Amino acid sequence: MTATGVPQVLDAGTPYEEFRAALLADGLLYETGARGVYGYSARYQSVVAALDRLITTLGGDLFEMVTFPPVLARPTFDRTDYLRSFPDLMGSVHVFRGGDREHRLLARRYDEGGDWPELLDPSEVVLSSAACHPLYALASGNLPRGGRHFEIQNWCFRHEPSVDPARMVAFRMHELVFIGEPGAAQQYRDTMLDTSVEQLAALGLPMEVVPANDPFFGRVGTILATSQLEENLKLEGVTPICSEQRPTAIISGNCARDHFGGPFGITTADGAVAHSACVAFGVDRITLALLHRHGLDPSKWPGQVRRRLWR
Amino acid sequence: MTATGVPQVLDAGTPYEEFRAALLADGLLYETGARGVYGYSARYQSVVAALDRLITTLGGDLFEMVTFPPVLARPTFDRTDYLRSFPDLMGSVHVFRGGDREHRLLARRYDEGGDWPELLDPSEVVLSSAACHPLYALASGNLPRGGRHFEIQNWCFRHEPSVDPARMVAFRMHELVFIGEPGAAQQYRDTMLDTSVEQLAALGLPMEVVPANDPFFGRVGTILATSQLEENLKLEGVTPICSEQRPTAIISGNCARDHFGGPFGITTADGAVAHSACVAFGVDRITLALLHRHGLDPSKWPGQVRRRLWR
């Protein structure tokens, strides 16, 4: 069981498997041969693009937009401490650094259907686990008074293969981030999450805001999860997709406190360690929630929803 | 030396390093801590988005658009035979599959600044090496008469860290692909490449079409490279970015013949093995070529160029 209560392995015939089958049969998603990794049709992609535009509007001119590739420098990843909490979700990029001789060995292993990837070496990058992770290195140093606002879009990777279509291994996250004074960061999280959840509700999605319960790994993780809950650091906006009892998180609001400001050397105008807060939109999950609620053909969605997305 | 004649390691003070420094100083690109991996500003991204729209228009309604995530199923990667030709460029995604005990070991190694990635295991995915690689598995089976046209956008990964800003480790590729009869595939490559190169020239880029000379790996690679040249299978549209003598490939036109149709079981309406051809736009390289030619502020580019991109 994980954060939103969805079991990792789901049997065929469940509502998850049925929704997934419908998305594939209708040509919205394509299978790729790796569980949780999909190709996206133009129709699906048009909803993603519309949501991205809507989120950009929510941020407004105050926000500096930065786009990152799907890979993250390993030293940056190390400083996020993600490996301690979610080792099972991360992806590390390994490469071939050999010469002709090693290539012959690699090719032979490959021809024999053997385990050729074990002949590779770690590269200087990992896959992005969260859209905002590459940001903090870029923001290091002294902030202007009033802090800084960023809008970040990114492909993220979380290794949790599942037949639940809302639990993709590769997916898009769009974040609105604030870095500044501690009090301002807390207030930003609360107001921006409220505004954003209202926008999602206006798209016809029944929304509820609940304390998040991240799937921290292992025995130490139980302590971390309890602490996260007690301190109310992360809230999630959930909506039922395939299950009323186990709604899916489609947006989260996070108080990271000094978790990034400290390791990345970000300071407020007064020289104190900066706090950060972000609202993260799970764009693929929101797309799936809309397709589940309003039907698989966006051209037939309620006029009010269409006008908000394609005005 | 590689395909376009750019050495892998370039000294500071070269035109490559100078252009890179200008892009960073002007805030178009951000450094991330990994060579060849950048963050992209809103200004840079606006050019990328405009180019993507232009390429979509070039394709037109005939083309089915499919968007893929940056990761590719390993069995699909294996069938492209990329590992044999370009082992040094590929990236394999490795993950943690252990329990509490193994996590303690991993965390200790991480705390000590040791080589924790070596404790990971290969996952079922690699990074996409070319935008169209995930496509062929999806197109397997019998084609309709006249073949099929696809438009593909994707983040690609090629591990060749360089100070040449046009040689990014993670970059965007946008492809227009045809799969069908052998003769039609050859003709598609020639006409679509011509049309596309004309469009790039109309953006004010001096273009030349030359036989490509891919950086096939090692001693066997020399034979593959010679064969590619002799058979005229790959053409590149090049333009000078940082060097007149060594122009940069910003688009390529490829006759893949039965390289994908065979392994992925794609057949023509008559049941023969299908041939494929693609025109691949290096969207980041085109963006850099435009910034180098017309200046770092797109709002001051020649009206004719701006109208084509932002009509």
Q: Which domains does chain A have, with CATH numbers?
A: 15-91+129-309 (3.30.930.10), 95-123 (no CATH)
- Least Cα separation, residue B117 to chain A (angstroms): 6
Count each helix (H run) and each strand (E run) in chain A, helices first: 10, 14
What are residue A111's phi and psi, to 5 degrees?
A: -60, -35
| Residue B9 pLDDT | 47
- Cβ contact A66:B30 at 8 Å: yes
- Least Cα separation, residue B77 to chain A (angstroms): 11
Which residue in B has a C-alpha nearest to residue A219's C-alpha? B100
How much of chain B exceeds pLDDT 70, in percent? 96
- Cβ contact A173:A131 at 8 Å: yes
Tell me the chain A residues in contact with residue B127 when contact means C-beta distances shorter than 8 Å: 70-71, 93
CA distance between the termini of chain B? 40
Which residue in B has a C-alpha nearest to residue A48's C-alpha? B67
- Cβ contact A95:A124 at 8 Å: no
Report how far residue B171's alpha carbon sits from residue B155's, in angstroms, rounded to the nearest whole number: 6
Which residue in A has a C-alpha nearest to residue B32's C-alpha? A73
Q: Which residues in chain B (23-62) have CB-CB distances under 8 A to chain A?
A: 30-35, 37-42, 44-45, 48
Tell me the chain B residues in contact with residue A85 when contact means C-beta distances shorter than 8 Å: none
Which residue in A has a C-alpha nearest to residue B30's C-alpha? A138
The predicted model gives B180-202 an average pLDDT of: 98
Determine, for residues B88 and A94 on separate chains, whether the beta-carbon distance falls below 8 Å. no
Given a cut of 50, is residue B3 above it in pLDDT? no
Report how far residue B117's alpha carbon sits from residue B308's, in angstroms, rounded to the nearest whole number: 47
- Cβ contact B90:B129 at 8 Å: yes
- The reported pTM is 0.94
Tokens of A242: 């395939």
- Least Cα separation, residue A9 to chain B (angstroms): 16
Given a cut of 50, is residue B5 above it in pLDDT? no
Q: What is chain A's alpha carbon radius of gyration, rounded to the nearest angstrom?
A: 20
Tens of pLDDT, residues B243-266: 999 999 999 999 999 999 999 999
Tens of pLDDT, residues B210-245: 998 788 888 778 888 887 888 888 999 999 999 999
Query: How many C-beta atoms lie closer than 10 Å to residue B219's C-beta?
Result: 11
| Closest C-alpha among B292, B283, B304, B279 to residue B240 | B292
Determine, for residues A66 and B41 on separate chains, whether the beta-carbon distance falls below 8 Å. yes
* Cα separations in angstroms, A255 against A168, A233, A260, B211, B253: 24, 5, 11, 54, 48
Which letter, b or e, does each residue of A233-270 get, where b requires 16 or more Cβ atoms within 10 Å of its Cβ?
Answer: bbbbbbbbbbeeebbbbbbbbbbbbebbbbbbebebee
* DSSP string covering B1-31: --TTS--SS--TTSHHHHHHHHHHHTTSEEE
Report how far residue B243's alpha carbon sits from residue B6's, in angstroms, rounded to the nearest whole number: 9
Tokens of B78: 């294996």
| Strand-strand pairing, A148-157 and A63-67 | parallel
| Residue A79 pLDDT | 92
Q: How far is CA A167 from the centre of its chain?
A: 10
| Residue A202 pLDDT | 98
Q: Which residues in chain B (176-215) have CB-CB distances under 8 A to chain A?
A: none
Find all residues with CB under 8 Å of B97, minimum gap 6, and list them.
Answer: A88, B120, B121
Find all residues with CB under 8 Å of A260, minimum gap 6, and list them.
Answer: A80, A136, A179, A266, A276
Low-confidence ranges of chain A (pLDDT < 70): 1-12
Tell me the chain B residues in contact with residue A91 when contact means C-beta distances shorter than 8 Å: 71, 93-95, 123, 125
Sheet strands (E) in A42-103: 63-67, 71-73, 92-95
Which residue in B has a C-alpha nearest to residue A124's C-alpha? B34
The predicted model gives B34-40 an average pLDDT of: 97
Tell me the chain A residues in contact with residue B46 when contact means C-beta distances shorter than 8 Å: none
Tell me the chain A residues in contact with residue B75 when contact means C-beta distances shorter than 8 Å: 33
Given a cut of 80, is residue B4 above it in pLDDT? no
Burial group, residue B12, by CB count within 10 angstroms (0-12, 13-18, 19+): exposed
Of B68, B117, B218, the CB nearest to A100: B218
Find all residues with CB under 8 Å of A185, minimum gap 6, and list them.
Answer: A147, A178, A179, A255, A256, A257, A274, A275, A276, A277
Output DSSP code: residue B144.
P
Tens of pLDDT, residues B103-116: 999 999 999 988 89
Output DSSP code: residue B119.
G
| Residue B2 pLDDT | 37
Given a cut of 50, is residue B6 above it in pLDDT? no
Determine, for residues A71 and B106 on separate chains, whether the beta-carbon distance falls below 8 Å. no
- Cβ contact A131:A154 at 8 Å: yes
Which residue in B has a C-alpha nearest to residue A88's C-alpha? B96
Q: Which residues in chain A (72-131) have CB-CB distances under 8 A to chain B?
A: 72-76, 78, 83-84, 87-88, 90-100, 103, 106-107, 110, 115-118, 120, 122-125, 127
Tens of pLDDT, residues B38-92: 999 999 999 999 999 999 999 989 999 999 999 999 999 999 989 989 999 999 9
Report how far residue B69's alpha carbon sits from residue A283's, in angstroms, rounded to the nearest whole number: 13
